[in-house]
Amino acid sequence: MNDVLKWYEKAGECGDVVYSTRVRLARNLRQYPFPNRASESQKQEIETKIRDAILAGNSVAASQFSFVPLEILSDEGAVSLVERHIVSPEFIADRRNKALLLSDDESTSIMINEEDHLRIQVMKEGLSLKEAAEAADRWDTLLGETLDFAFDPDFGYLTQCPTNLGTGMRASVMLHLPALAESGAMSRISANLSKLGLTLRGSYGEGSQVTGAMYQLSNQITLGLSETEAIDNLSAIAVQLIEQERKARKELSGGIVLQDKIERAAGVLKSAKMLSSGEFAELLSYIRLGLSVGLLQGVTQEELNGLFVRMQPATLSVSAEKPLETTERDILRAKETRRICAKLTEA
């Protein structure tokens, strides 16, 4: 890690509810088989071609990106990439012949030899679907200047998994919905969304648990719909959810039950000597909520975002530059959390 301000340390649109926006494009090189059928040497060629498309020459891109062969990473280093949503959990399961191109602010990552030859991912703070999609498109265009992407006039971009055929685009927003969750509305909302071709999941995508009321809302349909249509559709639904969450917060925040939970969460985060990652996520959720409804003050949502990322288990080990036992991590997490949360006061 370096000193460039990370994307999650900046304030974003609708930052009271939206943690982040992500757009990723799946692309493959026409002349090679998909990674699951490619030979080692083919994967090596693919890796070199994609790397050179970004890093060769004196382009602006070249100065912003680092190239990381996954095999050189420690286990903690690899898991930390997942924790920071830079790569998918699947990407690090087997690290042979895989590599990553990562921008200094961690907002743009290009996974090489994941399920597809390349996956371009752009993350942005707050609600920023249009901007993220435009940024992803710019990288797509730049890469397309030197790489020959597999494209079919009927099916669009070809991908290993048919669910990605077409635009190859998956867009998502990470939403913090504690008030809707508290009100018990989530299962109804989730059912309605799936009728609209959208999915609501835990914060690490498919199959992941919801912790700290963080939900990932994403599009499911990539075929028969333009990129712009998909983005507009997702955006409109996200705005509706944001409004519902804000309304639910207003209704709940007058009550002593929620005030009690928020103040207690602050009390524990200010004083605990050990914090598990699960408890940390749950309590931080109440702090975010407390700040957004004006019951707490003194810390910004961006400070919490940074704290949240830094306190993830493997990311803590990476910072400590050694593998850590659970208890060591829980102690470090509590210490740094106390430092940040000491500034929290009742508003």
Considering only residues 142, 186, 196, 331, which one is a binding residue for a copy of itself as defined by CB under 8 A?
331
Write down the least CB distance from residue 263 to a copy of itself, Å.
4
Q: Which stretch binds a copy of itself (CB under 8 A): 1-9, 176-184, 254-262, 317-325?
A: 254-262
3-class DSSP state of 13: coil
272, 314, 316, 324: residue in contact with a copy of itself (rule CB under 8 A)? 272
Q: Which two tokens stand for residue 109?
A: 């990552």
Residue 299 touches a copy of itself, criterion: CB under 8 A:
no
Alpha-carbon Rg for the chain in angstroms: 21
CA 36/CA 188 separation, integer angstroms: 38
Contact call for residue 316 and a copy of itself (CB under 8 A): no
Per the listing, tokens 């810390």 go with 299
Please, which residue, 60 or 257, has the CB nearer to a copy of itself? Answer: 257
Give the one residue of 41, 154, 257, 321 binding a copy of itself; rule: CB under 8 A.
257
Size of the site for a copy of itself (CB under 8 A): 18
CA 107 to CA 124: how far, in whole Å?
Answer: 6
The yes or no reply on residue 274 touching a copy of itself (CB under 8 A) is: yes
CA angle, corner 311, sides to 310 and 316, nearest 5? 80
For residue 42, the number of C-alpha atoms closer than 13 Å in the C-beta half-sphere is 14
Among 74, 199, 259, 300, interactor with a copy of itself by CB under 8 A: 259
Strand ranges inside 15-117, DSSP E: 18-27, 65-69, 99-103, 108-112
Q: Judged by CB under 8 A, does residue 264 bind a copy of itself?
A: yes
Q: How far is the CB of 345 from a copy of itself (least distance, A)?
A: 10
Per rule CB under 8 A, is residue 256 in the interface with a copy of itself? yes
Residue 263 contacts a copy of itself per CB under 8 A? yes
Find the Cα–Cα–Cα–Cα dihedral 203, 282, 123, 226, rounded to 10°: 40
Q: Structure tokens of 144?
A: 């397309």
Site of interaction with a copy of itself (CB under 8 A): 256-257, 259-260, 263-264, 266-274, 327, 331, 334
